[in-house]
Structure 1
């Protein structure tokens, strides 16, 4: 945590890690009231040092659990912007994951079973 005062957390760090989380869920995660969390997000109250760190660690733990379960993270759709219009790039072609069987090996196995 690179913030000059070690007693208080970085407000930008809190906004980054709280991005996309509804206020009521964020308050439940932090075990604080919605009013307290909204005051932190508005900047009217100083943020304790542990709040951004806790959200960061929870995010790391979530990513690690997803990795252990074999669930790949969702990739964001990238596109180009031209005169205010978004031009989506074509989806990358997927590789064929089925194993290829050689014809000569398959024919040899058929000859063995027929003989």
Structure 2
């Protein structure tokens, strides 16, 4: 329990476990026996937060936003081969021609 409760203030921990602050203090001090479900609940909550953070960080297109290194694979010689992310700059509106978007002309074939 002490591992998962580290860094969490006692009032917040008591509210998360739906127990009195005095009871949580006694558990942490070793005065009372910790029920079996307390470390399990804290472990599951901790795991859920980690999973949510992982999903949020992988959902982003920009790895630079989360300071992640670029993807790489290990070659058969044991060297890392870096993969460049597709960072193509979108075309500006001045480079696009209006004829490319004229759907009537494309359908008729004129």
* C-alpha RMSD of the superposition: 3.1
When normalised by structure 2's length, the TM-score is 0.53
Larger Rg: 2
Structure 1 segments, 4+ long, off by >3 Å, are: 94-101
Unaligned runs of 5+ in 1: 1-13, 72-93, 102-115
Alignment of 1:44-55 (within 5 A): 44-55=31-42
What is residue 46 of structure 2 aligned with on the other side? 59
Instruction: Please say if 1:39 is aligned against 2:26.
Output: yes
When normalised by structure 1's length, the TM-score is 0.51
Q: Higher relative CO (CA 8 A, sep ≥ 6), structure 1 or 2?
A: 1
What is residue 25 of structure 1 aligned with on the other side? 12
**Separation of aligned partners in 2, 1:97 and 1:28:** 44
Count how many residue pairs are aligned between Structure 1 and Structure 2: 71
**Separation of aligned partners in 1, 2:87 and 2:37:** 50
What is residue 11 of structure 1 aligned with on the other side? none
